[in-house]
Amino acid sequence: MSLKCGQLLAIIFSGGVLGAITLSLSSVTIPEIELVPDRLTGYPTWHGVYQGFDRQKNDSMITFASAFMLVVGMIGLKLVLNPPTKTSFITRFYTVSDDPDDNNKESISGVPTTGFNRSLVIYTFATFVTAIAALLFDIGKLWSVIAVSHNTLELTTLLLIGSGGRIKNVSYFVWMFIYIISVGGICVFNDFPIDALFFKIQGLSMDYALVIEFVRVYITTKKHLQDAGNETLPLNSEEIHDNNTRKLLPTTFNHPRHIIFLILASSAHAIGNLLSTIYASSAKTTLIFEICYAIAFPLYILFVYVDTQTTSIIPQKRIYLPYTPTWKVIVISINSLALALLTVRLSFDATTK
């Protein structure tokens, strides 16, 4: 009973914080912005003139980040199209359950990370297309119907973590269809600033949720590997010997440190989005956000590389996914939305100064 009370209190507290931030937004006067037309169609974008804006610098940075994403995406594609077959190279997801009587076969045998790695590669390509669209159309209504693919892959990643690393039924495709139609419809049928604010808030929510979930995955995996202790015997000298002829990276990696790449990648993207939102009129923060793309997605593919091409000092590479009951999903969702709204709230304060 006390646990249920604690769950209820967590939901109520998170809801209270969200309500307070929402109320603070209701008192904000949205400043008048003279929207800049995009260069290809002349349609209004979602921003005014940036302070210190240099189109050549902006185009160069987007091109640089896009080229990076394309190259690492091709590398990632090669990796996931040829997944490892040796047991020592295969990483498996294990969902941590609070139910001692859980006889789920997947929680016992594990789920290979193949599908998760593929989603990261598709995520990279979707973001590459989104960046090219920004280069052509600029950030606006027309761009949003393409950029929703980027957010869809973020949502897919969150769902994979929550479902044990595997899409288990066709309801996933139904929900993705509903999400895409909903976001696209709201952005298309609403005028500025509602369309821009909605897209920004839902995008920030995804970014923050990814950071939270990757941190939870790392902590859970680290804890369970430490608790296993003597149950995970070290590899013998022949298995641990590194015969790597490639000098770039070793074939033996200190598992599960490669999960840190996911945390760093999602954090870089979230920080870039946060800065470009709070200081929305600054050309410098826009460039920083674009640089973050060139940092985040190579890190995602680096995770895929280490996950598929290296062994571990323990017999089997495992990633433990945290148990996430409905009440935790609600709390994480509310907190992610609250952080997104707070970011937007801070952007109004920065704009009026």
Query: Is there a cis peptide before residue 234, judged by omega within 30 degrees of 0?
Result: no
pLDDT along the chain (353 residues), means of 10: 76 92 85 88 92 92 96 96 84 76 56 94 98 94 96 95 85 91 95 94 97 96 72 41 45 74 98 95 94 97 92 78 90 96 89 63
pLDDT at 254: 66
pLDDT at 170: 84
pLDDT at 239: 41
Q: Which CATH class is domain 31-322?
A: mainly alpha
Query: Tokens standing for 10?
Result: 């967590």
This prediction has a pTM of 0.89
The H-assigned helical ranges of the chain are 2-26, 55-81, 105-109, 114-137, 141-162, 171-189, 194-228, 237-240, 259-278, 283-309, 326-352
pLDDT at 318: 87
Instruction: List phi, psi (to 5°) of 191.
Output: -90, 165
Q: What is the DSSP string of 281-305?
A: TBHHHHHHHHHHHHHHHHHHHHHHH
Name the DSSP letter for residue 113: T
Distance CA 156, CA 210 (A): 11
Distance CA 191, CA 197 (A): 10
User: Considering Cα of 217, then 223, then 224, then 226, what sign does the dihedral take?
Assistant: positive
pLDDT at 311: 79
pLDDT at 32: 82
